Amino acid sequence: MTKNILVVPGDGIGQEVTAVGKKVLDKIAAKFGHTFTYDEALIGHVAIEATGNPLPDETLAKMKKSDAILFGAVGHPKYDNDPTAKVRPEQGLLKMRKELGLYANLRPIKLFDELLSASSIKPEVLKGADILFFRELTGDIYFGEKGRKNNGDTAFDIAEYSRYEVERIARKAFEAARTRRKKLCSVDKANVLETSRLWREVVQKIAPEYPNVQVEHQFVDAAAMILIKDPRRFDVVVTANLFGDILTDEASQIAGSMGMLASASVGDGTGVYEPIHGSAHDITGKGIANPLASILSAALLLDISFGMKAESEAVISAVDQVLKAGFRTGDIADAQTPKDKILGTDAMGEEVLKRI
């Protein structure tokens, strides 16, 4: 198969880990007889520095033309500490999601057995946890009207959802649940929020179309608690943009580290595959970032955008073997990890490549 992949590393460790993710795609192409061609584009702080725009038109045009996008991260400390900055790296990310119609963010939370001890949650609570989150990505409080009033002393952000927006993400989640353990948990705050009451109404209305899927509804506060107390209770979870943002970071602790988790953003056009972590200024340039989330993002890309199941499995299995062989990056190492098994970004990538 011939495919055109756009690599968008972005900022900070995005540059470091995406380079490794790309090498993995290259190795898969060679091994399975595919032809992958690559182009690269700017987003975030690096794009602002080069063009003044966090999502330059040229980047957007390349994104729309490509078959899939391997993405890094955006963010720079300059903006984190300056809430008044008018142009910000994250604007690039939000605009990309809107422009590409990426309304569903999929985050598989699966713990590799070898990392049971890397999580702060007890192994007996965690073992076997396997959750697929569907976070709605283009609505909610992030995209509603926002502003200041009363001379700037009062601020507001409006949360909005349409029936159509809830229905399309709910259907994706129901469909995924059908292929898994057939359980769907819809998370909202319907006791307080009107957007959540619409959310619940829509999920309840379409549920009878999926009779094999057992549906439950949880309030977000309860869901946050259950996630730590009994994560195995969840199979597929579907939720709104803000709740999903927070719950999936909480769930990252089930997998031991943000450095292990991949995500896919899909919708109407080209899919975007990226680690859930950010640009991690604290470790940028040190060569110690965990590249496994980017590598697992490449695996999701192969599976979801290209339908290459065997190729995707080959990547996941190589990651599993590397962990079984005892190799760790600093973020997933523990006191028992021998020093010579703690690897930097590139060396970890090499171990995965060797096993594909």
Q: Which residues would be at the binding site for ligand NAD (CB under 6 A)?
A: 13, 17, 73-76, 80, 90, 93, 258-259, 277-283, 289-290, 293, 331
Q: Helix, strand or coil for residue 190?
A: coil
For ligand NAD, which is the closer residue by CB, 118 or 308?
118
Q: Pick between residue 93 and residue 255 the one whose CB is nearest to ligand NAD.
A: 93
Q: How far is the CB of 123 from ligand NAD (least distance, A)?
A: 21
Residue 75 or residue 271: which is nearer to ligand NAD going by CB? 75
Active-site pick, 79, 142, 161, 210: 142
Min dist. Cβ of residue 96 to ligand NAD (A): 10
Least CB distance from residue 53 to ligand NAD, whole Å? 17
C-beta atoms surrounding 143 within 10 Å: 17
Nearer to ligand NAD (CB atom), residue 177 or residue 251:
251
Q: Give Cα 338 distance to the centre of its chain.
A: 30
State yes or no: is 153 an active-site residue: no
Distance CA 166, CA 107 (A): 18
Phi, psi angles (nearest 5°) of residue 36: -105, 125
In the complex, the smallest distance separating the C-beta of residue 17 from ligand NAD, rounded to whole angstroms, is 6
Pick from 40, 116, 64, 54: nearest CA to 86 = 54
Residue tagged active-site, from 39, 221, 334, 346? 221
Residue 310, judged by CB atoms within 10 A of its CB (0-12, 13-18, 19+), counts as exposed
Strand boundaries in 206-341, DSSP class E: 214-219, 236-239, 262-266, 271-275
Q: 178 CB contacts (<8 Å, ≥6 apart)?
A: 210, 212, 213
Paired tokens of 59: 């980047």
Q: How far is the CB of 118 from ligand NAD (least distance, A)?
A: 12
* Closest distance to ligand NAD from the beta carbon of 90 (Å): 6
In the bound state with ligand NAD, the residue whose beta carbon lies nearer, of 59 and 218, is: 59
Q: What is the C-alpha separation between 257 and 110, in angstroms, rounded?
A: 11
- 221 given a catalytic annotation: yes
DSSP 145: -
Of the candidates 249, 245, 323, the one whose C-alpha atom is nearest the C-alpha of residue 290 is 323
Secondary structure of residue 109 in the 3-state scheme: strand
Q: How big is the chain, counted in residues? A: 356
Question: From the candidates 67, 80, 130, 245, which is the catalytic residue?
Answer: 245
Q: Which residues contact 317 (CB under 8 A, 6 or more apart)?
A: 355
CB nearer to ligand NAD: pick between 94 and 304? 94
Told to judge if 142 belongs to the known catalytic residues of this protein, a careful annotator would answer: yes
| Active-site entry in 67, 130, 249, 320 | 249
Active site residue ranges: 142, 189, 221, 245, 249
